[in-house]
């Protein structure tokens, strides 16, 4: 019996020991599993953190990119109210869909697709150097080109000067007229030099007061007029007169340059050449003649040196304001043809801007041609320098050169058959 009890006791001990061993094994197993699980969770959290951060960052960026359009436009308006638009924004300003309407009269009103002269102008521009394109953006008196006191002829000195700086236009005054024969020879030579140098017609401009025997002389192919800012007429009557005068000029084989956007008739402070009207008031009054001319296919106009603080938020002259030239004239009113500044040698500008500042500000704002800069050579070199430094893009220069060339091709058509071309132009602009 005793031996059996001893064996039973030993068996019990072994059984207890086995249970203890199994318990320990289970505890070890559970501990190992817990450690592994903890490690997996830790690693997962570590990996998830940067991914979550990336997702959050993407959400923030996407949210910023998809802010309501009105807020983005409001911020842009605040930034641009004190300075002209950046020229990089101007270079592609017409790369818009037909349905991208900004007003009832948008850029699509002068759709380039409907006018084959744009394509022809692009082909001609490809053969031009940057220097030639930049030179085309200046409209000057002959004395600025040659350095003479009073030009009444165009000889070898003029030929050399033009080859070095082939400007887009020459403006002539009564002082440049000696007699009909000399004037005809001078303009004929100027056109010959332009054809030899850039294969393009030269704008030979004058105002309506330049006459020989009571008539606008042959050789003048561009008139600075009619004026759309005539205060003594109502706006609709002025609009009728402007359109009629443009028709008459086209029939005579000449271009008209409508002046002076947004109009001197709106000036309320003569001393500072400032108007107190805002854009809505201007559209309901002074801009009516300009709007009509644009819808009729206007090819050139001048932008004045008046100040429009209720539109721009600053005292920058309209001729240097990206808000006036690009936002309002081009985008709002749909004008995609040549913009010429008023004379940049005006006393009101000389008191505030250097010759270079005036010219560069106008180009950056969106003007295509600088009329009568204070110093042609200095302004020409400064514009080339600005392009080389990246301050003004080559695309911006190309955009203006393209408009200028297109206007010259249209002028060439008028000279070949004025009546037919006028009819074709009306069809394409309807």
Write the CATH number for 317.
Answer: 3.20.20.300
123 in a structural domain: yes
Note whether 384 and 131 are within 8 A (CB): yes
Note whether 256 and 418 are within 8 A (CB): no
Where in 116-234 does DSSP place strands (E)?
A: 138-140, 169-171, 203-206, 222-223
Question: How far is it, in rounded angstroms, from Cα 398 to Cα 405?
Answer: 10
Before 134, cis peptide (omega within 30)?
no
Question: How far is it, in rounded angstroms, from Cα 166 to Cα 201?
Answer: 11
Q: How many CA atoms lie within 13 A of 381 on its CB side?
A: 5
Please tell me the least confidently modeled range out of 49-53, 158-162, 283-287, 347-351: 49-53
CA distances from 8 to 2, 18, 49 (A): 10, 15, 61
Which of these, 403, 406, 394, 391, lies nearest to 361 by C-alpha position? Answer: 391
- pLDDT band for 25, please (50, 70, 90 cuts): low
200 in a structural domain: no
300 in a structural domain: yes
Indicate the helix (H) or strand (E) that contains 246.
helix 235-251
Task: Specify the pTM.
Answer: 0.75
Question: How far is it, in rounded angstroms, from Cα 242 to Cα 226?
Answer: 6
Q: For the chain, how are helix, strand and coil distributed in percent, rounded to 5?
A: 60, 10, 35
Positive/negative CA dihedral, 107, 113, 114, 119: positive
Mean pLDDT of 221-237: 91
Helices (H), 328-369: 347-350, 355-365
Q: Mean pLDDT over all residues of the chain?
A: 81
147 in a structural domain: no
pLDDT tens, residue by residue, 75-110: 444 444 334 444 444 444 444 333 333 344 444 444
6 in a structural domain: no
331 in a structural domain: yes
In the chain, the number of structural domains is 1
Question: How far is it, in rounded angstroms, from Cα 297 to Cα 110?
Answer: 7
Q: Across-strand partners of 369?
A: 340
pLDDT tens, residue by residue, 244-268: 999 999 999 999 999 999 999 999 9
Instruction: Please tell me the predicted confidence (pLDDT) of residue 313.
Output: 97
370 in a structural domain: yes
Read off the tokens for 104: 């009832």
Mean pLDDT of 326-351: 95
Domain coverage including residue 116 = 100-127+221-429
- pLDDT band for 114, please (50, 70, 90 cuts): confident
Mean pLDDT of 113-128: 93
Instruction: Please tell me the predicted confidence (pLDDT) of residue 232.
Output: 76
Indicate the helix (H) or strand (E) that contains 366.
none
138 in a structural domain: no
Q: Across-strand partners of 222?
A: 205, 255
Q: Across-strand partners of 302?
A: 340
Read off the tokens for 185: 């020879």
């Amino acid at each position: 019996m005793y031996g059996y009890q001893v064996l039973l006791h030993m068996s019990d001990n072994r059984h207890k020991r086995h249970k203890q061993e199994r318990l320990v094994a289970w505890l070890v197993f559970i501990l190992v599993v817990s450690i592994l699980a903890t490690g997996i969770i830790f690693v997962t959290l570590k990996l998830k953190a940067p991914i979550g951060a990336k997702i959050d960052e993407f959400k923030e960026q996407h949210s910023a990119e998809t802010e309501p359009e009105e807020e983005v436009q409001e911020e842009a308006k605040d930034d641009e109210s004190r300075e002209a638009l950046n020229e990089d924004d101007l270079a592609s300003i017409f790369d818009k869909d037909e349905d991208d309407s900004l007003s009832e009269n948008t850029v699509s009103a002068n759709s380039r697709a409907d006018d084959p002269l744009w394509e022809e102008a692009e082909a001609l521009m490809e053969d031009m150097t940057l220097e030639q394109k930049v030179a085309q953006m200046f409209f000057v008196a002959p004395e600025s080109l040659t350095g003479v006191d009073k030009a009444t002829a165009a000889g070898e000195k003029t030929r050399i000067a033009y080859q070095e700086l082939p400007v887009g236009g020459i403006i002539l005054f009564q002082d440049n007229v000696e007699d009909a024969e000399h004037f005809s020879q001078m303009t004929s030579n100027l056109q010959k030099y332009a054809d030899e140098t850039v294969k393009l017609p030269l704008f030979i401009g004058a105002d309506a007061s330049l006459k020989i025997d009571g008539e606008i002389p042959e050789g003048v192919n561009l008139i600075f007029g009619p004026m759309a800012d005539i205060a003594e007429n109502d706006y609709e009557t002025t609009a009728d007169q402007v359109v009629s005068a443009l028709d008459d000029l086209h029939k005579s084989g000449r271009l008209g340059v409508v002046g002076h956007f947004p109009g001197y008739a709106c000036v309320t402070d003569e001393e500072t050449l400032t108007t107190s009207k805002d854009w809505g008031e201007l559209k309901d009054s002074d801009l009516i003649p300009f709007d009509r001319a644009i819808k009729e296919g206007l090819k050139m106009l001048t932008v004045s040196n008046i100040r429009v603080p209720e539109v721009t938020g600053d005292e920058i002259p309209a001729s240097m304001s990206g808000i006036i030239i690009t936002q309002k004239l081009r985008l709002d009113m749909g004008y995609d043809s040549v913009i010429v500044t008023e004379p940049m040698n005006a006393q009101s500008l000389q008191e505030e801007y250097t010759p270079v500042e005036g010219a560069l500000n106008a180009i950056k704002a969106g003007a295509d041609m600088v009329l009568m800069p204070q110093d042609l050579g200095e302004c020409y070199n400064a514009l080339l320098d600005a392009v080389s430094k990246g301050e003004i893009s080559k695309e911006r220069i190309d955009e203006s050169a393209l408009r200028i060339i297109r206007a010259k091709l249209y002028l060439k058509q008028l000279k070949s058959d004025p009546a037919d071309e006028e009819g074709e132009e009306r069809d394409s602009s309807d």
